[in-house]
Amino acid sequence: MELDMTKGKPFPIIIKFMFPLFLGNLFQQLYNMVDTIIVGRYVSQNALAAVGSTGTIMFLVLGFSQGLTTGFTVLTSQCYGAGDMKRVKRSVANGILLSIIVIISMTIISVMSMDSILRLMNTPDDIFNDAKTYIITICYGIVASVSYNLFSAFLRSIGNSKVPLYFLMLSAGLNVIFDLIFIIGLRLGVMGAALATDISQGISAIACLIYIIKKATILWPDKKDWRINSKDTAHQMRVGLPMALQFGITASGTMIMQAAINLFGSEAVAAYTAASKLSSLLTQGFPAMGQTMSTYCGQNYGKGDYKRIRQGVKSALIASSSYAIVAAGIALLLLPHILGLFFDASVDISAMMPYARPYIYLCIMFYIPLGFIFIFRNAMQGCGYGFLPMMGGVIELFARLGMAAAAMVSKIYILAAACDPAAWLAAGIFTGICYIFVIKDVRKKLETPQNI
């Protein structure tokens, strides 16, 4: 099921590769939403707020880990595009060994620091214990989440976006089943929701690994490859570390935003959680396009085809802008109907709308620059440029920080709700400018071929 993205018309190839990723991301958001709905309906409104309040922390911990390990796979896609199959295997072995170190380190650090992080984020007292229980359980499952994303990224690096979708669908189905067992059947509350996520992702990670060993033999290393290679490590860390820092910086900004939201009480947190789940669901085309551009640009950079990289980015921008308009329209139509799914009949939905509606309205106005961020950032990363995409995360951080500080000082909710749109606009402009300079440098480098 490998796909050589260095041949054929860019637009149909990009869409063909992107669509399974989009479906996979959609399934992931849907089963995350099912978690939230089941918790809100069968545990309590406060439990929903507790789970929602930890979303940004999950993004920080898992995003940093996954950003680092996904960065390790960029070398694999470049070697595949260059036709160097021996180094493909070696890069996979090196990436797995480095990822084991990342998983152990991040698990220890996150578990030990979680209490302090929750207090720093102004987590309301009435949801603190549930929030801590949920996020600690998630942190113990870092090995499952990172392993699945690592193995999926290796498959995508050789153009296989369908198999990761199948295993993600498996994970989504298992997650729902385990939710019903742990939350409704065994009454484990928020811990049950976290356990369902950890176990379902772990099973999918194992299934993905078995597939690579049995079917995607082009990836699976030989015995001689299982050692840390200094050259590959330097390359993988050069790309992976900035990707991880970019995730971490972006997550820090969203944590600051969550801290601002938390000041308005558990009702505001619950309403924001529900609205943000809807927005996340509808914007999954953007990260799917970003993942596509990382593989597309990585393969074509490995082959040395500068013009094809530019053509692909142009096609992606057109597709992303069209998607943004459609997603905005759907968000406007669905908000009043979706919000009620998250709460039982005793909750007054009309009291939630003043918190949910401003967030959605502000977000949809800036879906286009959000899509551009993913395209420009991943295109640069696919070509091996890590620093400037990371700085895009810094721009997001300062934009969110400014809006969150204004919200905390003024106690005006709409300013807290504007944190995401402000970050998207600022980073969209910044990454667009950076891409212009990067693509010129790519052209210069590819005119004088050199080893990856």
**Amino acid letter for position 63:** G
pLDDT in tens, the chain (452 residues): 567 888 889 999 999 989 988 888 887 777 677 777 788 778 877 887 788 778 778 877 877 877 777 788 888 988 988 889 999 999 999 999 999 998 999 899 999 999 998 888 788 888 899 889 999 999 999 999 889 889 998 998 888 878 888 888 888 889 889 988 998 889 898 899 899 989 999 999 999 999 999 999 999 999 999 999 999 999 888 888 887 887 778 777 777 888 888 888 878 888 888 888 889 889 999 999 998 998 899 889 988 888 999 999 999 999 999 999 999 999 988 887 777 777 666 667 777 788 888 999 999 999 999 999 999 999 998 888 888 888 888 898 899 999 999 999 999 999 999 999 999 999 999 999 999 999 999 998 887 755 44
CA gap 377, 399 in Å, rounded: 17
Q: Which two tokens stand for residue 210?
A: 């078995």
Is-contact 243 68, C-beta < 8 A? yes
Name every residue whose Cβ is closer than 8 Å to that of residue 164 and which is 6 or more positions away in sequence. 20, 21, 24, 152, 155, 156, 208
Is-contact 360 331, C-beta < 8 A? yes
**What local confidence, expressed as pLDDT, does residue 433 receive?**
96
- Is 0.85 surpassed by the pTM of this model? no
Q: Which helix (H) or strand (E) holds 279?
A: helix 266-282
**What local confidence, expressed as pLDDT, does residue 338 receive?**
76
Burial 92-107 (b: 16+ CB within 10 A, else e): bbbbbbbbeebbeebb
In this structure, what are the phi and psi dihedrals at residue 400, rounded to the nearest 5 degrees?
Answer: -65, -40
**What local confidence, expressed as pLDDT, does residue 450 receive?**
55
CA distances, 425 to each of 210, 366, 399, 400, 440 (Å): 42, 7, 9, 11, 24
Name every residue whose Cβ is closer than 8 Å to that of residue 198 and which is 6 or more positions away in sequence. 137, 138, 140, 141, 144, 145
CA distances, 5 to each of 79, 84, 102, 239, 334 (Å): 13, 15, 30, 21, 36
CA gap 387, 246 in Å, rounded: 9
**What local confidence, expressed as pLDDT, does residue 276 receive?**
86
Is-contact 261 268, C-beta < 8 A? yes
Residue matched to tokens 């979303």 = 55
**What local confidence, expressed as pLDDT, does residue 310 receive?**
94
pLDDT tens digits for range 276-295: 888 988 999 999 999 899 88
Burial 115-126 (b: 16+ CB within 10 A, else e): eebbeebebbee
